[in-house]
Amino acid sequence: MTSMKLLFQHLVDHETKFRNSISLIPSENTLSPLARLAYLSDGYSRYFFDEHEVFGRWSFQGGSIVGRVQQEVLIPLLQRVGQARYVDVRNVSGLTAMTTALAAFGGEPGDAVLSVPVANGGHPDTAYVARKFGFRPLGLPFGHWATLDLEALADMVAREKPSLIYIDHATSLIPLDLTAVVECVRQAADRPVHIHVDTSHVNGLIWGGQLPNPLACGADSWGGSTHKTFPGPHKAVIFTNDAEVSDRLTMTAVNMVSHHHMSDVVALAISLVEFLECGGAEYAAAVVTNARLLAEALAAEGLGVQRHGADFTRNHQVWVDTASHREPHAAGSQLFQAGLVVNPFNPLPSLGGPGIRLGLNEATYLGISPESLPVLARVMRDVIVDDVDPAAAADPVREVRAAMRPRFCYPPEVFAEKLADLVAVTGGKTDLAVEPLTDFLYS
């Protein structure tokens, strides 16, 4: 078999699998058909460096036209959804945004940087990156696995005198009280402390009005990746209302990121237009509702669904303890065979060890019905508890998936129209037979 044939066989196998599966990975989402057109444009090949980087003169003028999408469309839309005066779009992933924020606001070598411990849902790379910059990474003090001990936090801030509080609560069921955290830090600090909130997992929920805006809670900056609860490309953004903070972000990202992938910029702009015009707020509300409904259905099936007080979840995530029936990675592998793509994760904060982390973001974007969630819960019970053959358990998953279609985006006729606009520049036919392509992209 030739390399090309092998390559496309793997692609076909992947597409076949995901046409018959439902992804419940909380850190993944899908890109709309229209946003994927960004990767067909010549703009994919071009650098775009703005005036801050080239002192008012073009060195890479090839990106000067497609770059207008960033300046005239993307940034104004992000300012709107982020309710911020300034937004930086240079970072190409959540981890590069983390690296930029740490470099910009971490202070001098030896300064303390406080972040969420991994045991309480913090990102596993935050302390690693902080240490590489020469900072002293310290864990924010939690009393309960889900809540900060504010008295201990005040003592830590007064004692350690951190330059940066980096709130990276990635694996969570309920949000931290950001207003209380900010007030605690401001009162305890005897020197300026930058507070940055990494919202990679929940940007779509914040932009859709389901969670509070960190700037409104008193944070200095916030942001993260654009492909988890927000259905956009793999990229990241950072918001602030402070001009000096914005300048520091710009100069740091200019030197640490450089070219920031114009097709991703265009795809993010298209995704934001669709979010605002095709029911983004409804989508965000449905994500939270669907997560709660799946948690309730799983609990009804006798699975070890985690909760905090009366809440199973107040975001997109659902956590399940499978240890009494099956090791989480083994359970995840069998669920994958049954068509449910899940996220074995270690540690889940409520367990102090491994479990399964689920997310309803992608399934909601693809239009899963609330009535289908008990079906998925039953499949999980069949596989994890009752040891049903995954191949036999896959049938109801395929039926649910077959009824799903991208819901919160422009319909196929708009995709066909915009594709024709691109093709027209070559003088080619604009009355394209696009049905096979739209069938592929909208299934």
Which pLDDT does position 49 carry in this prediction?
A: 79
Q: What is the rounded distance in angstroms from the CA atom of residue 235 to the CA atom of residue 360?
A: 20
| Among 28, 123, 29, 117, residue whose Cα is nearest residue 343 | 28
- Per-residue model confidence (pLDDT) at position 9: 98
Tokens (6 digits) for 363: 């399934």
Give the chain's residues under pLDDT 50.
Answer: none
Looking at beta carbons, which pairs linking 275-280 to residues 24 or more positions away fall under 8 Å? 275/81, 275/204, 275/207, 275/208, 275/230, 275/231, 275/408, 276/77, 276/80, 276/81, 277/410, 278/408, 278/409, 278/410, 279/407, 279/408, 280/204, 280/207, 280/208, 280/408
User: What is the set of domains in the chain, with CATH numbers?
Assistant: 19-32+279-402 (3.90.1150.10), 33-277 (3.40.640.10), 414-441 (no CATH)
pLDDT computed for residue 60 by the predictor: 84
Q: Which residues pair with 122 in a beta bridge?
A: 169
**Residue entry with tokens 């899908």:** 30
Which is nearest to 266 in space by CA: 27, 31, 28?
Answer: 31
Report the pLDDT value the prediction gives residue 153, as an integer from 0 to 100. Answer: 99
